[in-house]
Structure 1
Amino acid sequence: MTAQTDALLVIGSGLQRYREYLLASAAERHPLWLIDAAEPTWQRPHAAGWSVVPLLDAARLVPDRERILATAQEIAASHGVAGVFTYDETLVTTAALIAEKLGLPGLTVDGADRCRNKHRTRSALTLAGLPQPRFALAYTLEEARGAATEIGFPMVLKPRGMGASIGVVRVDDPDAFDDAFTMAELAGHGGSPDYEGGVLLEEFMTGPEISVDGICADGVYEPVFVARKQTGFAPYFEETGHVVDAADELLSDPELLHVLRTAHEALHVSTGTTHTEVLFTERGPVVVEVNARLGGDLIPWLGELATGIRPGRVAAELALGKRPDLTRTEHRTTGIRFTYPPHDCRVQEVSVPEPGSIDGLLAAEPIATPGTELRLPPGGYLSRYAYVVCTAPDRTTCDQALDEAARATRLSLTPLP
């Protein structure tokens, strides 16, 4: 297929349920050329052209950057390339490499790595003078035991390069430490092998947690929307829901804005979209991590429903070197709740309420299909069987609608040993 001149490259398309809305809005004003691992299906209406390339090196199972870069250079030579972006965490540094090599706007490889590598993140933010937990990086259990005596209990262990709170666990005493380290280290081998190995030990800090999807344009950071996060399954940190309020007072909080802007400068993030997780502690806002991409868990869709701002279009315009229009055309609150089984199980059937059957219910979708095995942390992560999305004039009413909609989901199951 022949694309129009100067296409915008999109590296990896993700899962349709979670990412099609981003691809669709990115394609509204500029032709997209998709580089992906398989022939497009649902992606076709949104792509002017595509190249099928193995995204992972078959031998090492790491992002095949050289092959993807060579493909991007071929597209640039034959059709022209105006920009590049990705919303896939494992491909962030690959997209940054393409931008550097082709002289396109975007994140540098160094900036991408500072975000992907949680130890580099912590080190950079410490040098910038931001509030931080005590932390250490350990590759072996012996190293970890030594570092634990300096950090003290309780503490949080997390893989060096994972996302979505996978493998993150709180440890309250030395008796539980060895098993927790082994679990976190093992979980770190489920993502990009570039970041396999190494567990970050952090002082445990308490407080409500949020995420902020924002932009960097010409080196200046600006928040776009805030999501109030709900977690569960302690001592793990499984993300069970999010609520976005278009009028959230944190968007103009001076202390939070200072922390966010300082963090992005310290991580050398100058152009693109980011998803930053922040914990409000007794020391003030503390950055948990900065992801150099749009948020997951349909959070950008919640932001779009709440504000009218199209995150996929915003990401595309930044990748093209343009400053996006962030004018709000909607002013409401939207939220998502993910439903989990009561225990490890095999799914028999999932049913969800119809949109409109509950006041404010916009969408309800099964996630798990019959026969799927769902295991709760630490045996599995993101083991959801459905989600519900609701809207309301304010956060309290939205939470109430989400509670009602979640109760209306039904799961038939067979317990697993």
Structure 2
Amino acid sequence: MDENGAKDGVILLIGCGLRKYREYLLAGAAATHPVWLFTSTEPDWQSPYLTGHTVVDVTDREAVLRAARELTASHTVRGVLSWDETLIVTTAHVADALGLPGAGPDGVEGCRDKFRSRRLLTEAGIDQPRYAWVDTAEEALAAAEEIGYPVVVKPRGMGASIGVVLAADAAEVAEAFRTAEEASRIGAVPYRGGALVEEYLEGPEISIDAAVVNGGYHPMFVARKQVGLFPYFEEIGHHVAADDPLRTDPVLLDMLRAAHHAIGYGFGITHTEVKLTARGPVVVEINGRLGGDLIPRLGQLATGIDPAEAAVLAALGEHPEFSDTEHRTVGIRFGYPPEDCRVRSVTPPSTAEGLLAAEAMAEPGTELRLPPNGYIARHAYVICAGADPEETAGRLDAAADLVELDWEPLHVPVPA
């Protein structure tokens, strides 16, 4: 115990997120190891899960580093973690400064900086889409002509497919560049401006959440992604099947191990997105944190594996041991409005076949704008379980149809 009586010291969690998305992770982390939270505001619902907390501006890296060093004066800090995309670089720097297991500053930049990731993976011989970095619409057009249509235009450091656009011809490339470049300016400063132009990959998309421990790659579960609102790439749903054969596919796993080695990722949890193409699996991106969209929760419900426990063990530098205790398929479907709107009310269903959860995501008065005027314009989600993906998809369709959205049109001028 440390001098304050905390068993085996504390795990430092930087940032937490919204309760409806992250409480299950905080509960799982606290059940695994005592948690000390760095938070920008006083804890509320988080308090029962915490050994202690520090109020600090988590967006200020130097302030977080100072607070971490001060914490080590009174507590033994055993590891550092975060499941917030915007804080994983700071988290890596804190772990490095304290001499604790972590992704490493270079490894985490291989996740956050999509241009850096493309270069490193290509140099390592890992199949990548053809790509080019561009700073202007004219350069984007030249790159698209070289790569061949259609192309995908995306920001350098955003997540959740924000600002990612499919362009089918020269006229669409200029608009796609504008959308991607403008979207980049709401993100982290080092990744603002410019865009990536990439070959469009045909095929379904999956994501793999895994623990990485000193070069060892330990997959937890595979999610199958459903994308909509083309030419944009809004993620409207996912499902996880405990018996998905890709969880143990040797070709896929060998590629993922090599990819993590190529970017120099040391210790932590990653969420890797992969396209399954006619030429084989191709890495779309590696994210240095647990998946969003409640994907880790789907994985937990489908397999019984606790993603928060895995995240804590990886941050401690310990190899996790995964064993399924559930054997089913679990999926999520997000509700989007038919057009830009102001929400009057959202009423999710209380019962439906296989329904595990249903939540409103937009309060009355919320303005929801569809791409390119806005992103992630979700009003509700439903989570359902089934014996297989087909049954689960049918149950998700039925449950989503039961969500009641009362709205009024929101007329947003289209940018010139």
Residue in 2 aligned with 1:31? Answer: 34
Post-superposition offset of 1:140: 2.3
- Indicate which of 235, 240, 252 corresponds to 2:231: 235
Aligned partner of residue 327 in structure 1, secondary structure? coil
Matched residue type, 2:231:
P
Residue in 2 aligned with 1:60? Answer: none
Aligned partner of residue 317 in structure 1, secondary structure? helix
Distance in 1 of aligned mates of 2:381 and 2:329: 17
Distance in 1 of aligned mates of 2:310 and 2:173: 43
Matched residue type, 1:27:
A
- Indicate which of 51, 55, 58 corresponds to 1:55: 58
Asked if 2 retains the 8 angstrom alpha-carbon contact of 1:160 and 1:196, the reply is yes
Residue in 2 aligned with 1:59? Answer: none
Asked if 1 retains the 8 angstrom alpha-carbon contact of 2:110 and 2:263, the reply is yes
Superposed CA offset, 1:201-238 (max 9, x none): 10111100011101112211121100010010001000
Matched residue type, 1:8:
I
- Kindly indicate whether residue 300 of structure 2 is the aligned counterpart of residue 297 of structure 1: no
Aligned partner of residue 292 in structure 2, secondary structure? coil
Aligned partner of residue 269 in structure 2, secondary structure? strand
Distance in 1 of aligned mates of 2:249 and 2:74: 48
Post-superposition offset of 1:143: 2.8
Asked if 1 retains the 8 angstrom alpha-carbon contact of 2:275 and 2:284, the reply is yes
- TM-score between both structures, scaled by the size of structure 1: 0.96
Aligned partner of residue 190 in structure 1, secondary structure? coil
Superposed CA offset, 1:369-404 (max 9, x none): 100000111111110000000011111100010000
Residue in 2 aligned with 1:73? Answer: 69
Distance in 1 of aligned mates of 2:190 and 2:15: 17
Residue in 2 aligned with 1:9? Answer: 12
- Indicate which of 92, 104, 115 corresponds to 1:108: 104
- Kindly indicate whether residue 305 of structure 2 is the aligned counterpart of residue 309 of structure 1: yes
- Indicate which of 404, 411, 416 corresponds to 2:405: 411
Distance in 1 of aligned mates of 2:46 and 2:185: 29
Post-superposition offset of 1:79: 1.2
- Taking only the aligned residue pairs, the percentage that are identical comes to 55
Matched residue type, 1:146:
A
Post-superposition offset of 1:4: 6.2
Aligned partner of residue 413 in structure 1, secondary structure? strand
Residue in 2 aligned with 1:191? Answer: 187
TM-aligned CA distance change 1:105 to 1:397, over 3 Å: same
- Indicate which of 356, 359, 372 corresponds to 1:362: 356
Distance in 1 of aligned mates of 2:279 and 2:186: 33
- Kindly indicate whether residue 275 of structure 2 is the aligned counterpart of residue 279 of structure 1: yes
- Indicate which of 93, 105, 119 corresponds to 1:97: 93
Matched residue type, 1:390:
C
Aligned partner of residue 78 in structure 1, secondary structure? coil
Distance in 1 of aligned mates of 2:285 and 2:404: 34
Aligned residues: 408
* Residues 151-162 of structure 1 mapped to structure 2, 5 A cutoff: 151-162=147-158
Distance in 2 of aligned mates of 1:162 and 1:98: 22
Unmatched segments (≥5 aa) in structure 2: 412-416
Distance in 2 of aligned mates of 1:264 and 1:93: 16
Matched residue type, 1:384:
R
Residue in 1 aligned with 2:414? Answer: none
- Indicate which of 325, 328, 334 corresponds to 1:338: 334
Residue in 2 aligned with 1:131? Answer: 127
Distance in 1 of aligned mates of 2:179 and 2:123: 30
* Residues 160-309 of structure 1 mapped to structure 2, 5 A cutoff: 160-309=156-305
Matched residue type, 1:367:
M
Residue in 2 aligned with 1:383? Answer: 377
Asked if 2 retains the 8 angstrom alpha-carbon contact of 1:4 and 1:79, the reply is no
Superposed CA offset, 1:164-183 (max 9, x none): 10100000000121111011
Aligned partner of residue 414 in structure 1, secondary structure? strand
Distance in 1 of aligned mates of 2:33 and 2:317: 13
Asked if 2 retains the 8 angstrom alpha-carbon contact of 1:156 and 1:169, the reply is yes
Post-superposition offset of 1:3: 6.1
Superposed CA offset, 1:11-51 (max 9, x none): 00111111111011000031111011111001101111111
Distance in 2 of aligned mates of 1:250 and 1:325: 18
Distance in 1 of aligned mates of 2:121 and 2:334: 32
Residue in 2 aligned with 1:61? Answer: none
Matched residue type, 2:308:
G
Distance in 1 of aligned mates of 2:28 and 2:212: 19
- Kindly indicate whether residue 387 of structure 2 is the aligned counterpart of residue 393 of structure 1: yes
Asked if 1 retains the 8 angstrom alpha-carbon contact of 2:101 and 2:266, the reply is no
Superposed CA offset, 1:59-110 (max 9, x none): xxxxx11110110011011212110000001111111111111110111000
- TM-score between both structures, scaled by the size of structure 2: 0.96
Distance in 1 of aligned mates of 2:37 and 2:7: 13
Which range moves more in the overlay, 164-173 or 258-267? 258-267
Distance in 2 of aligned mates of 1:88 and 1:243: 22
Matched residue type, 1:300:
P
Distance in 2 of aligned mates of 1:239 and 1:254: 27
Distance in 1 of aligned mates of 2:89 and 2:298: 26
Unmatched segments (≥5 aa) in structure 1: 57-63
Superposed CA offset, 1:316-341 (max 9, x none): 11111222231111111100000110
Superposed CA offset, 1:87-135 (max 9, x none): 0011111111111111101110000001110001111110111211110
Which range moves more in the overlay, 155-164 or 135-144? 135-144
